[in-house]
Structure 1
Amino acid sequence: MRFSLTIFLLFFTLFTQATVYKWVDKDGKIHYSDKPIENAETVEFKSNTQNQIKLQAFKANSSTSNDDQDSSTQYNLSITSPDEEETIWNNQGKITIMARISPNLEAKHVLVLLMDGVIVGPPQTSPVFSLKDIDRGEHSFVIKAVAQNGKQLASTPPRKIFLHRAIIRRQATPTLSPGDH
């Protein structure tokens, strides 16, 4: 039943054509309709009639600043050390993050280090970041290449690192006072 209904509807739609009629009213306005009106003409469409929208191609202005042109550099940026999910054992909380960037960083571009989503330290041109006094636990690091205008040019995937700091808390050793035996 469903199959025969589907076939019928397909054939019905193939053989059904919408005719368009055109007429001019007493004020000289042209009207179109799918219903025949007295003195209306049938409109014949060419086979290549299509609705098309052509968008103009974007052209860069010759007055574009050098900052925008400089930021077109495509950097390949990755963290080389420490490894993903590596545990670092350092009681002073020192971590060194090293990255590789290619091509070399241009003079107007800098690198920033984010630890747990927060920028750590000032921007720099060196791909080696030395941190100290980092709390123990899990941390996520990302390095971003940034232009002077603040535009992000490249970013590393997040790198998860674990810092282990042995904390020795010396508790007061109980001493015996005279007479307490």
Structure 2
Amino acid sequence: MHIPFILITLLSLLISPALQATTIYSWIDCDGVVHFSDQPTDKATVYQFDSLPSAASAASPTTSALIPSESTKTPDAAPAASIRLLSPMHEQTLRDNEGIIAISAIANRKMDQGHNVQLLLDGKAYGHPQSSLSWHLINIERGSHQLQVQLLKYGKVIASSKSITVYLHQASVIQRKPPAIKTK
């Protein structure tokens, strides 16, 4: 009984926005902020649209022209290359008798197209540049060590992480307890 009334109401709500003409006003304030409104102001640019886009055509060229897409952004807008160490943390104490240090880093570039990373241990290159962002160092002597990673593109350094200090502790041979003597 009420279904025809509800159906007609819903259809009229869907059709009515498509029948309206729309005027939008745009202006830039003294701080350089762009404003959009349906109310006219002084020095506003007028945009006239014949109809509002429906939900099905929300991605039409009219609306997408107002929002810059990824393909229209200039290469200058790309973020600067960066790399940083995830682990170990700065001034972290590591306890390992074999002198093992596990290192991981993160970069905002994919490790392809000539991108590599170089690990610096105590200011000197450790191993060769690689595409992996993790290292497993073995037989590192006890004490404090400086760690840093560099992001390379075709061998040229394009970004460096902050240098961190880690402290590697190993059990001393002098302090080890002798094996218990078993008596018969």
Equivalent residue, structure 1, for 2:133: 127
In structure 2, which of residues 156, 159, 178 is the aligned counterpart of residue 154 of structure 1?
Answer: 159
**Identity of matched residues, %:** 30
Q: How many residues are aligned here? A: 100
Separation in structure 1 between the aligned mates of residue 126 and residue 173 of structure 2, nearest angstrom:
27
Letter in 1 for 2:163: P
What's the RMSD between the two structures over aligned residues? 2.3
Decide whether the 8 Å contact of 2:87 with 2:103 is kept in 1: yes
Deviation >3 Å, runs of 4+? none
Unaligned regions of 5+ residues in structure 1, if any? 1-71, 174-181
User: Per-residue CA shift, 1:46-74, capped at 9, x if unaligned?
Assistant: xxxxxxxxxxxxxxxxxxxxxxxxxx983
Q: Which residue of 1 aligns with 2:81?
A: 75
How far does the alpha carbon of each residue in 1:64-123 deviate from its partner, in whole angstroms, 9 at most, with x for none? xxxxxxxx9832211010111000000000001100111323331110000011111111
- Secondary structure (helix, strand or coil) at the match of 1:134 reads coil
Contact 2:116 2:129 in 1 (8 A): yes
Take 1:118 and 1:142, find their aligned partners in 2: how far apart are those partners? 9
Q: Aligned in 2, Cα 1:103/1:146: closer, same or farther, shift over 3 Å?
A: closer
Aligned to 1:108: 114
1:160 positional shift: 0.6
Map Cα deviations across residues 12-35 of structure 1 (whole Å, 9 max, x no partner): xxxxxxxxxxxxxxxxxxxxxxxx
Other-structure match for 1:144: 150
Specify the SS of the correspondent of 2:128. Answer: strand
**Residue aligning to 1:163:** 168
**How many Å separate the matches in 2 of 1:105 and 1:125?**
5
Aligned to 1:4: none
Query: Following superposition of structure 1 onto structure 2, how do residues 1-181 of structure 1 map, counting pairs within 5 Å?
Result: 74-148=80-154, 150-169=155-174
- Secondary structure (helix, strand or coil) at the match of 1:168 reads coil
* 1:74 counterpart SS class: coil
Separation of aligned partners in 1, 2:109 and 2:125: 23
TM-score (norm 2): 0.50
Q: What TM-score, normalized to structure 1?
A: 0.51
